[in-house]
Amino acid sequence: MSELTTERSDMWSSSFIFVLAAAGSAVGLGNIWKFPYIAGENGGGAFVLVYLICIAVIGVPVMISEIMLGKLGRASPIQSLLNLCKTHNKPAGWSAIGYMGVVTGFVILSFYAVIAGWVCYYVLRLFSGEFTGASAESVGSAFSEFLASPLQVTLFFTLFMVITIFFVARGVTRGLELCVRYSMPAVFVLLIVLIGYGVHTGGMAESAKFLFTPDFSSLNAQAVVIALGHAFFTLSLGMGAIMAYGAYVPQNVSVVQTTFTIAFLDTLLALMAGLAIFAIVFAEGLPPDSSVGLLFQTVPIAFGSLPGGAFFGGLFFLLVALAALTSAISISEPVVAYVSERIKATRAKIAIGVGVVCWLLGMGSVLSFNVWSDVKLFFDWTFFDVFDKVSQLVLLPLGGLLIALFVAWVLPSTIVNEELGLVTKQRQQAWRVIVGVVTPLAVLVVFVVELAREIFGF
Ligand code: TRP
């Protein structure tokens, strides 16, 4: 073997492409569909502030850790962790983080693809021009009617799943690059158009006030847990997705710089989507807490009253679907990479296998909005709620917590300092305090407070 054993043949061809791919993973339904509706349900400003703090204090250090682990381990998350434990004589049990990530991946991809299916359906509906001049009521009822039809929802969910598996089967780098390079700037431009529309209708001032004026009376412990979970979800952290991508990073990429770029882009897009959507909400007098339907009940109204709205509206949903695709691909990567290391099967076969399992799990979420809407598994959660909440509120933060602890207290600090270019003692100590104490403690405190809230009911 040559001395290049740590360089894999399927590397991202440059650091720029890695940034694109990681940003493609981060920017998705979490930014455009989820962030606005959870901000709406949790009262706006104060929630947004907590979310921003979570991104900075928890998200950024965990992302740095994940990319670094991938880069050091050069394999699937499970194998990377095993490699690192073996090299440094640490208990192999730490690879449990990787196994947990595989399970989390199935859970997330299953419901993520269902929502992405809704987006695909909206591509067609907007292009058809039927929302031109439509009222808020008709846009709202069009959404409820669609959700009530398990057949239609299944069809579009299946379509999205098939497209995702097709790309996953072809390997990570191909296709992804093209998708992100053009679709992300385009999403950005269309969000600016929507923001301009919001300024024009007069809803923007109220939207900005809602999102950026913290009113702490509307903040409770549950909102804090949701903000924390969302910080993980939106940055694709806590299950090894970014770690798996990190395995293909060229040696010369700066982990820290890349992380800042991705976190910045991701946050920017979420805030823009929030601003655009709440401007429509306030201009139309809609309730801000419309839950999962918020995106689908607002954006068509705006495009419906803009010139060329059918085309640009269709394009907007198409771009959101592409953003969801680049995210979905990354969710499957830890599993697919791991299975490819373990069994001698083509990537295509493995991808199809993963797709079938996710499809079966996803049907639970499809039916949660119609046939099984009264089936509550625990609390008052439907199948979809369970998948959504357990992954975001428990699995991702727990994964992130363990990743931070592993990097701070298990890996030898010399390796970490070298990889992150921490030359001065102060920097080394600052990093250790952040990732080894502040980040894990923040996650733990939020967990404990939420648990106490559930038990003592405050
Ligand atoms: N971050 C993506 C979004 O906001 C979703 C996503 C991709 C994800 N990969 C992930 C979420 C890994 C959790 C873990 O849409």
**Binning pLDDT at 50, 70 and 90, where does residue 452 land?**
confident
Tell me the CA–centroid distance for residue 22 and ligand 1, in Å: 10
Question: Which ranges in 128-175 belong to alpha helices (H)?
Answer: 136-147, 150-169
User: How many Cβ atoms are within 10 Å of 181's Cβ, its own excluded?
Assistant: 13
State the Cα–Cα distance between residues 271 and 346, nearest whole angstrom: 41
Contact 172, 248 (CB under 8 A): yes
Q: Give the position, in ligand 1's atom list, of the atom nearest the Cα of 104.
A: 14
Mean pLDDT of the chain: 93
Contact 174, 326 (CB under 8 A): no
**Binning pLDDT at 50, 70 and 90, where does residue 451 land?**
confident
Tell me the CA–centroid distance for residue 236 and ligand 1, in Å: 4
Residue 377 has phi, psi (to 5 degrees) of -80, -60
Tell me the CA–centroid distance for residue 105 and ligand 1, in Å: 9
Summarised one tens digit per residue, pLDDT across range 65-98 is 999 999 999 999 999 999 999 999 999 999 999 9
Question: Which ranges in 59-175 belong to alpha helices (H)?
Answer: 60-73, 77-87, 96-127, 136-147, 150-169
Q: Which of 331, 388, 398 to mutate to test the pocket of ligand 1 (most atoms within 8 A of CB)?
A: 331
DSSP state of 344: -
Nearest partner of 280 among 87, 131, 75, 84, judged by Cα: 131
Res 10 pLDDT > 80: no
What per-residue confidence (pLDDT) applies to 65? Answer: 98
**Binning pLDDT at 50, 70 and 90, where does residue 175 land?**
low
Summarised one tens digit per residue, pLDDT across range 125-173 is 999 999 999 999 999 999 999 999 999 999 999 999 999 999 999 876 6
Tell me the CA–centroid distance for residue 142 and ligand 1, in Å: 28
Nearest partner of 265 among 329, 173, 185, 177, judged by Cα: 185
State the Cα–Cα distance between residues 164 and 329, nearest whole angstrom: 6
Q: For the chain, percent helix, then strand, then coil, each to nearest 5?
A: 80, 0, 20
Tell me the CA–centroid distance for residue 324 and ligand 1, in Å: 9
When mean pLDDT is compared across 65-69, 162-166, 249-253, 406-410, the lowest value belongs to 249-253
**Binning pLDDT at 50, 70 and 90, where does residue 378 land?**
confident
Specify the length of the chain in residues: 458
What per-residue confidence (pLDDT) applies to 458? Answer: 60
Res 325 pLDDT > 60: yes
Q: Which residues line ligand 1 (CB under 6 A)?
A: 25-26, 28-31, 108, 233-234, 236, 239, 241, 327, 330-331, 396
State the Cα–Cα distance between residues 146 and 55, nearest whole angstrom: 34
State the Cα–Cα distance between residues 294 and 277, nearest whole angstrom: 8
pTM: 0.94
Contact 253, 18 (CB under 8 A): yes
Contact 25, 245 (CB under 8 A): yes
Task: Please list, in sequence order, all residues whose beta carbon lies within 8 angstroms of the beta carbon of residue 458, skipping any fewer than 6 positions away.
Answer: 221, 452
Considering the chain, what percentage of its residues have pLDDT values greater than 70?
A: 96
Q: Give the position, in ligand 1's atom list, of the atom nearest the Cα of 237.
A: 14
Question: What's the token pair of residue 418?
Answer: 């070298």
Q: Give the position, in ligand 1's atom list, of the atom nearest the Cα of 324.
A: 15
User: How many Cβ atoms are within 10 Å of 371's Cβ, its own excluded?
Assistant: 11
When mean pLDDT is compared across 10-19, 107-116, 240-249, the lowest value belongs to 10-19
Tell me the CA–centroid distance for residue 418 and ligand 1, in Å: 29
Q: Which of 114, 118, 234 to mutate to test the pocket of ligand 1 (most atoms within 8 A of CB)?
A: 234
Tell me the CA–centroid distance for residue 424 and ligand 1, in Å: 34
Res 219 pLDDT > 50: yes
Nearest partner of 172 among 97, 96, 105, 249, judged by Cα: 249
